[in-house]
Chain A
Amino acid sequence: MREMLMMAVVGGGTLAMRSVFIVGSASLPPRVERVMRHAKPAILAALVGSFLGGGGGVSLESVAALAVAALVALRGGGMLLMIGAGILAAGLFPG
């Protein structure tokens, strides 16, 4: 029930954000638009960080997984390769 309500609020809020300009007639102030452009990298990186720092602090296992995954990505590897290599690396450093 709680999850369903969460989804409904997120879905409703998202639709509101997407439709305010398309269905409504509002437009975004240029200053806000400029600042918002930096939200995407901050949010995605913060999601990585909150996982790293969550559950009682940074573990060697997850640092190893992310470091190896980053290395794979920098060498041009795709997401599935990153996940495979990262999880494999985590196995070498059991938490």
Chain B
Amino acid sequence: MTAITARLERAPGAAVDGVREMMPAAVGVLPFATMIGVAIGASPMSQVGGWVAGLVVAGGSAHLAVTASITVGASFVATVVTALLINSRSLIYGALLAPSLRSQPRWFRWVAAYALVDQLYALAAGVSHRDDGYFRRYYLAAMGILWSAYMLGVGAGIVLGPVIPTSIPLSLAIPIMFLSMVIPAVTTRPARVAAVVGMGTAIVAASLPAGLGMVAAIVVGTVAGSIAEGRADA
């Protein structure tokens, strides 16, 4: 009896913790998701396809990048490479989180990997020392609330977009959203070097075919950031 009570108390506890701690990030993702929805509505993509893409691409910045690439008519390869490079930071999240997931069931490791976006990594890292059952329920609950908010926001943006007058240059929202993500990411000097060099290269190389300019900018910017860090260490 006590074992059952203890189990009942523990089970919702983890889920409630997950929802409660993800709530600020879930609310925070709403305006971002809504603007992505507006961008999808203004792009040549189908609305349903653009919405479902959120679940397939599995990451807001990559979702926006794919939408932006389709809007400007970038090539297949350039679009895919850009989106994959954006999501490539999840390689690091996966590497960092993997040790604490070793004893989890296989199905959960697949689900956890699929959904591993910035906000989830940040929260999951904080509870990675808890037991497997707690971690699993916490993660699934946090994932559920975050992804629901995201998909709801994107849907709202797609529906609301056409109501906004066409004289307003809404396409400018896309670079501004990326800018709003750059600013919190450039707290260190190497990060600022990577950003400035990446942006400069992207502007200069924008006319290269097949979106090669974007790939060049990412490579040059990333390397410049590493060199700046090396200098700072020396």
Q: In the complex, how many angstroms separate the beta carbon of A12 from the nearest chain B beta carbon? A: 9
> Which residue of chain A lies nearest to B58 when distances are taken between CB atoms in the complex?
A14
Q: What is the predominant secondary structure among interface residues of chain A facing chain B?
A: helix
Residues on B with beta carbons closer than 8 Å to the beta carbon of A47 = 65, 68, 82, 86, 175, 178, 202, 214
Check if B226 sits within 8 Å of A43, measured CB to CB.
no
Q: B11 on the interface (CB 8 Å rule)?
A: no
Inter-chain contact A80/B31, CB cutoff 8 Å: yes
A89 to chain B, nearest CB (A): 9
The answer to whether B176 touches A86 (Cβ under 8 A) is yes
* A54-B49 contact in complex given A15-B114, A22-B94, A87-B168, C-beta closer than 8 Å: no
Q: Is the CB of B168 within 8 A of A7?
A: no
**Chain A positions within 8 Å of B144 at CB level:** none
Given the interface pairs A3-B45, A10-B62, the reply to whether A20 lies near B91 with Cβ below 8 Å is: yes
Q: Which residues of B contact A52 (CB under 8 A)?
A: 175, 199, 202-203, 206
Most buried by A among B49, B93, B169: B169
Bound together, the chains give a CA A58 to CA B106 distance in angstroms of 49
Interface residues of A, Cβ cutoff 8 Å to B = 2-11, 13-15, 17-23, 27-28, 33-55, 58, 61-62, 65-66, 69-70, 73-74, 78-80, 82-83, 86-87, 90-91
- Complex: A83 Cα to B112 Cα, angstroms: 33
Return chain A residues, CB-CB under 8 Å to B32.
79
19 residue pairs A–B, Cβ–Cβ below 8 Å: A3-B46, A4-B49, A11-B56, A18-B91, A19-B110, A20-B94, A21-B91, A22-B109, A23-B106, A33-B92, A36-B91, A42-B225, A45-B182, A49-B199, A49-B201, A52-B202, A83-B172, A87-B170, A90-B172
Query: Known contacts being A49-B200, A53-B204, is A82 close to B66, with CB within 8 Å?
Result: no
Q: Which residues of A contact B97 (CB under 8 A)?
A: 21-22
Q: By the criterion CB–CB under 8 Å, are A58 and B203 in contact?
A: yes
**In the complex, which residues of chain A have a beta carbon less than 8 angstroms from the beta carbon of B197?**
42
The residue in chain B whose Cβ has the minimal distance to the Cβ of A20 is B94
Q: Closest approach, in angstroms, between the C-beta of B111 and any C-beta of chain A?
A: 10
